[in-house]
Amino acid sequence: MIIPDADLIQRDIEAYLEQHRNKDLLRFLTCGNVDDGKSTLIGRLLYDAKMIYEDQLAAVHRDSKIHGTTGTDFDPALLTDGLKAEREQGITIDVAYRYFSTSKRKFIIADTPGHEQYTRNMATGASNCQLAVILIDARHGVTTQTRRHSFIASLLGISHVIVAVNKMDLVDWSEAVYDDIRKAYNALCARLSFKDVHFIPISALLGDNVVDRSPNMPWHNGPTLLHHLENVNISAHRNLIDMRFPVQSVFRPDLNFRGFAGTVASGVIRPGDKVMVLPSRQTSTVKSIISWEGELAYAFPPMPVVITLADEIDASRGDIIAPVNNLPRTDHEFDAMLVWMNEKPAREMTSYLVKHTTAMVPATLEKIRYEVDVNNMRKKAPPPEGTAPELAMNSIARVKIILHRPLVFDPFTRNHATGSFILIDRITNATIAAGMILDRTSAADQSSGEQPRSTHITRETSLVSSAERELLLKQRPRTVWLTGLSGSGKSTIAKLLERMLIDQGKLCYVLDGDNIRHGLNRDLGFTAEDRKENIRRIAEVAKLMNDAGLIVITAFISPYREDRQSARDIIGHERFLEAYLNTPLDVCEERDPKGLYRRARKGEITSFTGVSPDAPYEPPAAPDIMLDTTTADAEQCARILLAAVLN
């Protein structure tokens, strides 16, 4: 075996080890059709990169005469096809992992099977990879299996792709054939989420453009496969923004020390950071970060560390520690894309265990929304009416999962570490599925708001129609949603509008922010998540009141556009009237009827909208009504709203 940097090893072994330790690691997989040359490519890569021991090479030469498929005494595929069944059939069945390094980078290769029935193995191999090498036989071009593997790679969040057009020697090194395949694959990519796609024509068997440039294809001006693997930029895809620290265990060697052990999943954590333990929502400050080397100034993924907090708060295995101003989602349910890996089919309303970071939570597969046909990347037709949907092994589907207790997570597209999970059979403890959490719910769920936690609840319909209520009350139910900074006049205008409507004989009611927080929402604070929940509850109450035929007037800051849009979706677009009180911050601060701005400026109130950096106000982009309270008084504004409601 010829080792890269052999001269440096002889001159200064410590310098070599330091250089090796500082190399970054690229995990990539090879995938494609059966006999496209995946194992051959990896074998050639290892051989030409001088990463094979002499006894391994001798064994390959010996086995090539028995199991080889190349007609020579050297079949590179035998370097990775380790199972007896694989060598006998000349195919890859299981995922084979190989490690090698060059002077620039360390690599872990996942050689995945090409047969359709081993799709789950391909998904397993791709789950931790940053790049995919998709092989295409130059004789056959883009096939169904090419589409299948490309879709799975895209689904699993792989953004870097090398399309290796293999067996160019069998098409006489034709540039025209290569160009046709490149055009066909580019058309396929239009429906996928790849960010970086490179095409390289190769011959894995002969070594052309694998490690060394090919003299047979002078028309190719791009890099060789190894050169691209060594230089592709993967650092930008590490999530160093959203700090997430799943607690693995509580470390207490003596009475004077209590720390939380775990592996940093994403982001960077430093002493002094203000953090929250989820789902309990207790807050504290990071006191220290400790590793086997001692105390650290910071930690980042995937470092295993112990962190201590300034306050004695409770945290245990399965909890997640996150920054107070950048919190993940905590919920009892989510939608996910699921890869089913078990021979026993998945069925709705079946109970499983969700393994997510360090947490294990009982859950129910409530609904199979649709299955994906990975051959054409479209939704499959639903099963015939009266037939319960189910997922066979290797199926991929969008599902809804109900959790038996809250789980802390991020969408998979934002954070792979906290957006992925596996399903475990509660009887056998076998891993039966892998899932990626989506960042949105289904349209059906959005239209009716958040669904009930219990799976044994059905929505009842009234015997009285909305039209009958309107006729009885002689009014059209609406929700007037007043939004604006504190001091803009929301409560004053809301009360005046209520008085005017009552004088007109209309039944109405004001939902005021302060009043609601004294009762219904007194358990909520002013973090982004609590503000979101505050608005969701108000929207649900307003919807019920509208269903009863009442006109509802709300007076809330409701600073975030997303939350106001969610309220519109819950209440219904035809009933929702957004009124923006466009009052400048300096005017609101000058009025300051409750003295809140003055206290916020002194630091006595945190997360105060418009003042605190972590609490911005997002003005409506296109409100239904915009009121300028600097040019119109409260009564004039109320009359404008009255006309809109009665219209």
pLDDT in tens, 511-562: 988 888 888 888 777 777 778 888 999 999 999 999 999 999 999 889 888 8
558 in a domain, yes or no?
yes
Tell me which of 454 and 575 has the higher pLDDT: 575
pLDDT band at 464 (very low <50, low <70, confident <90, very high): confident
Asked if 431 and 360 touch (Cβ cutoff 8 Å), the reply is no
Instruction: Give the closest residue to 568 by CA, choosing from 556, 581, 577, 557.
Output: 577
The CATH number for 314's domain is 2.40.30.10
Instruction: Choose the weakest-confidence range: 4-8, 171-175, 291-295.
Output: 4-8
84 in a domain, yes or no?
yes
Percent residues over pLDDT 90 in the chain:
43
- 73 secondary structure, DSSP code: S
Q: What is the mean pLDDT of the chain?
A: 83
CA pair distance 625, 479, nearest whole angstrom: 13
pLDDT tens-digit readout, 38-47:
778 887 887 7
**Of the ranges 47-61, 106-120, 142-156, 630-644, which is most confident?**
630-644
Domain C-terminal end among 237, 271, 298: 237
Domain C-terminal end among 323, 343, 362: 323
Domain C-terminal end among 237, 271, 304: 237
pLDDT tens-digit readout, 573-598:
889 999 999 999 989 988 887 788 88
Instruction: Give the tokens for residue 404.
Output: 């038996």
What's the pLDDT at 448? 42
**Per-residue b or e along 570-595, where b marks 16 or more CB atoms closer than 10 Å to that residue's CB:** bbeeebbbbbbbbbebeebbeeeeee
CB count in 10 Å sphere of residue 177 = 18
Average pLDDT rounded to a whole number, residues 270-296: 93
454 in a domain, yes or no?
no
User: pTM of the prediction?
Assistant: 0.61
Residues 261 and 308 in one domain: yes
Residue appearing with tokens 């090919």:
214
What's the pLDDT at 67? 52
Residues 116 and 216 in one domain: yes
Residues 138 and 276 in one domain: no
Q: Is the pLDDT at 79 greater than 80, yes or no?
A: no
Residues 581 and 495 in one domain: yes
Residues 160 and 266 in one domain: no
Q: 320-323 and 274-278 as β-strands: parallel, antiparallel, unpaired?
A: antiparallel
459 in a domain, yes or no?
no
pLDDT band at 78 (very low <50, low <70, confident <90, very high): low
- 342 secondary structure, DSSP code: -
Average pLDDT rounded to a whole number, residues 602-631: 85
What's the pLDDT at 90? 41
Asked if 133 and 41 touch (Cβ cutoff 8 Å), the reply is yes
pLDDT tens-digit readout, 343-397:
899 999 899 999 999 999 999 999 999 998 877 778 888 888 778 889 998 889 9
The CATH number for 46's domain is 3.40.50.300
Residues 259 and 174 in one domain: no
Q: Is the pLDDT at 296 greater than 90, yes or no?
A: yes
Tell me which of 624 and 33 has the higher pLDDT: 624
451 in a domain, yes or no?
no
Q: Is the pLDDT at 447 greater than 50, yes or no?
A: no
Q: Is the pLDDT at 2 greater than 60, yes or no?
A: no
Instruction: Give the closest residue to 148 by CA, choosing from 178, 182, 112, 183.
Output: 112
Q: Is the pLDDT at 56 greater than 60, yes or no?
A: no
> In sequence order, what are the residues at sequence separation of 6 or more whose Cβ sits closer than 8 angstroms to the Cβ of residue 528?
325, 327, 560, 614
Residues 192 and 60 in one domain: yes
427 in a domain, yes or no?
yes
Tell me which of 332 and 14 has the higher pLDDT: 332
Average pLDDT rounded to a whole number, residues 283-293: 93
What's the pLDDT at 159? 83
Q: Is the pLDDT at 453 greater than 90, yes or no?
A: no
Tell me which of 476 and 524 has the higher pLDDT: 476
Asked if 433 and 422 touch (Cβ cutoff 8 Å), the reply is yes
Residues 128 and 201 in one domain: yes
Residues 100 and 135 in one domain: yes
What's the pLDDT at 303? 92
Domain residue limits at 346 = 330-379+390-441
Residues 335 and 263 in one domain: no
Instruction: Choose the weakest-confidence range: 63-67, 152-156, 157-161, 597-601.
Output: 63-67
24 in a domain, yes or no?
yes
Residues 52 and 181 in one domain: yes
Q: Is the pLDDT at 8 greater than 80, yes or no?
A: no
Query: How many domains does the chain divide into?
Result: 4
What's the pLDDT at 72? 56
- Residue 537: helix, strand or coil by DSSP? helix
Tell me which of 5 and 462 has the higher pLDDT: 462
CA pair distance 615, 613, nearest whole angstrom: 6
What's the pLDDT at 457? 54
Write the DSSP string, 139-190: TT-S-HHHHHHHHHHHHTT--EEEEEEE-GGGGTT-HHHHHHHHHHHHHHHT
What's the pLDDT at 355? 95
Residues 228 and 347 in one domain: no
Asked if 76 and 114 touch (Cβ cutoff 8 Å), the reply is no
Q: How far is CA 546 from CA 105, 550, 593, in A?
A: 63, 5, 31
pLDDT band at 15 (very low <50, low <70, confident <90, very high): low
Tell me which of 563 and 70 has the higher pLDDT: 563
106 in a domain, yes or no?
yes
